[in-house]
Structure formats: structure tokens, C-alpha cells
């Protein structure tokens, strides 16, 4: 069994799809360490040759794994070499689907990214909103939010907010529950007025302690007792204001975001 493996996600578009596909498969092998790299916009034979040369130089003959969603068969052929393990994310499925549907697929690179300009505009707007309303910034504009994530420091609010904006087009703000609010078991007016769009993000005290120790080792802020107190206080605030909450412990950002959408009844296809 390999202890580590080089993985390359190669696409003729942004690479988001092939990366998600490959990672969904490789996560089933937790005992193996994967060195991952995404190489997007490989659209010509020359692009593919340069990418292959780079891959072979970096992997020094250790049979790297390539996941590909390249549509052009000539470009794809360059990468499908005996020296690598090549996995085509589209060919097998599209071939079968063409037979099933009795129709020819477009086989156009990145076609889904051009389907709906309105959706793209909304996603860009959501990203700007997320960045402008991170960590409690501009709470007076929470009326415009699709979602407000509440939680103590290092509970995972920012990365989840960014994922919701970039991947789902959700205008997500996040607000830190600091000692000012925890000690009084209260929330500011701008959140109370929009609490139907608010959700709490909590964590196991032990996990929170480990996260904080990495940045502020030995501080009162990072003490396990502090983490326990803050988690308990935050959960009581959520109960007081009837705000649903979920735990981020042991979950990926994608899992947390999906659970939030399910809990709040927000469509992933905004």
C-alpha cells in the first residue's frame, strides 16, 4: 500500500468540478497521505504537454494520479500515458449517457459556468457581501443577509461563510460572540431583529482548545476551562433567542455548510 501519492486535478476550465470529484474519492483512503495540485485551463495539446512535463518532474517516476475532466480527446490523450494513473471524469459517463438518451453531448469545456449569468452575478454579489460582513463588520446591513452565522472565536464562522458565498451564492454574514455578549447572555439589536435568519455554530470545548492553542498557546483565551464556559454561554444564548445551532466538530466545511442549508431551508442552487 502506498503511504503517500501525488494527485493532480486537471481541467480545461476552473478545475472546481474535477477537484471535488477526486477528493470525494480519495477521502475514502484516510491512511494514505495525498499531495494535491489543481491545474486548470488546460485547453490545448501544448498546454497538456507542459502540464505533463511538470507533473513527471515533480513526481519523479512514482506514478502520479491524474483526475481529468478535459473534453478534447486530443488534449486528453497527451495526459493518458503509461507513466501515470489516469482517471477520466467525463468520458465513461458521457459515453453511456449519450447511448441512454440517444443524443450527442455538447462536450464543451466549462459549459455549466456559462449557463446563467444571473446566477454568476448573484454569486459575485454574495462574495462581496461575505467579505464586507465578516467577523461582525457592518451589522447595520444584516437586513440584506440570507444568513447570519453566530459563534465564539475559532468555531469556524469565517471559512463556512466564505464557502457558502463562493460555492452556493449565499449572502452570509458572521458575528463573533465575545465576552461582551456571552457574559450577559445577550445579542445586539441588529441580530435580534434578524434572528429568523441566524444560526449558531458551536464546537466541542476540547476542539476549540486545540484550535486556540495553535495561535495563542498558554493564554487564558486558549484554556480548556475558558472554552467550556464560552461554549456553554453561547448555547444558552441560542436557546434564549430560539436560534438553531449545529456543531462544527469533526466535520468538513462542506458538511457544515450543507447542514446549515438544510437546517435553515436554504436552497443550494441559489
Q: Which of 153-157, 164-168, 241-245 has the lowest mean pLDDT?
A: 164-168
Quick check: 115 pLDDT over 60? no
pLDDT-derived band at 111 (thresholds 50, 70, 90) equals: low
CB 214 within 8 A of CB 160: no
Average pLDDT value for residue range 208-230: 95
pTM surpassing 0.75?
no
CA 38 vs CA 20, 25, 127, 244: distances in Å: 11, 15, 22, 36
> What are the residue ranges of helices labelled H in the chain?
16-26, 45-59, 73-79, 91-101, 117-132, 157-168, 179-182, 189-192, 205-215, 224-240, 253-264
CB 198 within 8 A of CB 181: no
CA 200 to chain centre: 18
pLDDT-derived band at 269 (thresholds 50, 70, 90) equals: low
For residue 175, list its beta bridge partners.
Answer: 150
φ/ψ of 147, rounded to 5, equals -155, 140
pLDDT-derived band at 212 (thresholds 50, 70, 90) equals: very high
pLDDT at 268: 60
pLDDT at 51: 96
Average pLDDT value for residue range 29-42: 91
Average pLDDT value for residue range 159-169: 90
pLDDT-derived band at 35 (thresholds 50, 70, 90) equals: very high
Share of the chain above pLDDT 70, in %: 94
pLDDT at 117: 62
Q: Which of 147, 151, 205, 211 is nearest to 181 (CA)?
A: 151
Q: Which of 104, 82, 86, 80 is nearest to 94 (CA)?
A: 104
d(CA 194, CA 19): 36
pLDDT at 87: 93
Q: Give 103's contacts (C-beta < 8 A, 6+ positions apart).
A: none
Is 254 or 95 the better-scoring residue by pLDDT? 254
Q: Which of 8-22, 159-173, 221-235, 236-250 has the lowest mean pLDDT?
A: 8-22
Going from the N-terminus, what domains does the chain have, and what CATH number goes with each? 4-112 (3.40.50), 117-264 (3.40.50)
Average pLDDT value for residue range 200-204: 96
Helices (H) and strands (E) in the chain, counts: 11, 8
Quick check: 37 pLDDT over 90? yes
Quick check: 223 pLDDT over 90? yes
Q: Tell me the three state secondary structure of residue 175.
A: strand
Amino acid at each position: 500500500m502506498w503511504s503517500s501519492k501525488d494527485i493532480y486535478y486537471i481541467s480545461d476550465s476552473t478545475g472546481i468540478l474535477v477537484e471535488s470529484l477526486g477528493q470525494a474519492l480519495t477521502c475514502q483512503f484516510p491512511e494514505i497521505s495525498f499531495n494535491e495540485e489543481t491545474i486548470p485551463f488546460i485547453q490545448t495539446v501544448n498546454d497538456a504537454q507542459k502540464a505533463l512535463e511538470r507533473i513527471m518532474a515533480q513526481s519523479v517516476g512514482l506514478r502520479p494520479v491524474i483526475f481529468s475532466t478535459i473534453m478534447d480527446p486530443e488534449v486528453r490523450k497527451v495526459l493518458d500515458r503509461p507513466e501515470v494513473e489516469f482517471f477520466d471524469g467525463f468520458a465513461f459517463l458521457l459515453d453511456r449517457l449519450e447511448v441512454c438518451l440517444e443524443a450527442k453531448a455538447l462536450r464543451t469545456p466549462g459549459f455549466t459556468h456559462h449557463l446563467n449569468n444571473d446566477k454568476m452575478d448573484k454569486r459575485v454579489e454574495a462574495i462581496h457581501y461575505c467579505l464586507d460582513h465578516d467577523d461582525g463588520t457592518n451589522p447595520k446591513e444584516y437586513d440584506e443577509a440570507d444568513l447570519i452565522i453566530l459563534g465564539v472565536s475559532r468555531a469556524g464562522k469565517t471559512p463556512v461563510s466564505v464557502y457558502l458565498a463562493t460555492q452556493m451564492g449565499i449572502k452570509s454574514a458572521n458575528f463573533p460572540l465575545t465576552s461582551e455578549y456571552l457574559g450577559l447572555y445577550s445579542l445586539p439589536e441588529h441580530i435580534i431583529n434578524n434572528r429568523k435568519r441566524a444560526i449558531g455554530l458551536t464546537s466541542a470545548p476540547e476542539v476549540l482548545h486545540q484550535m486556540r492553542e495553535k495561535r495563542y498557546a498558554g493564554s487564558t483565551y486558549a484554556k480548556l476551562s475558558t472554552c467550556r464556559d464560552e461554549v456553554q454561554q453561547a448555547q444558552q444564548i441560542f436557546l434564549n433567542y430560539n436560534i438553531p445551532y449545529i456543531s462544527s466538530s469533526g466535520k468538513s466545511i462542506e458538511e457544515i455548510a450543507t447542514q446549515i442549508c438544510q437546517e435553515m431551508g436554504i436552497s443550494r442552487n441559489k
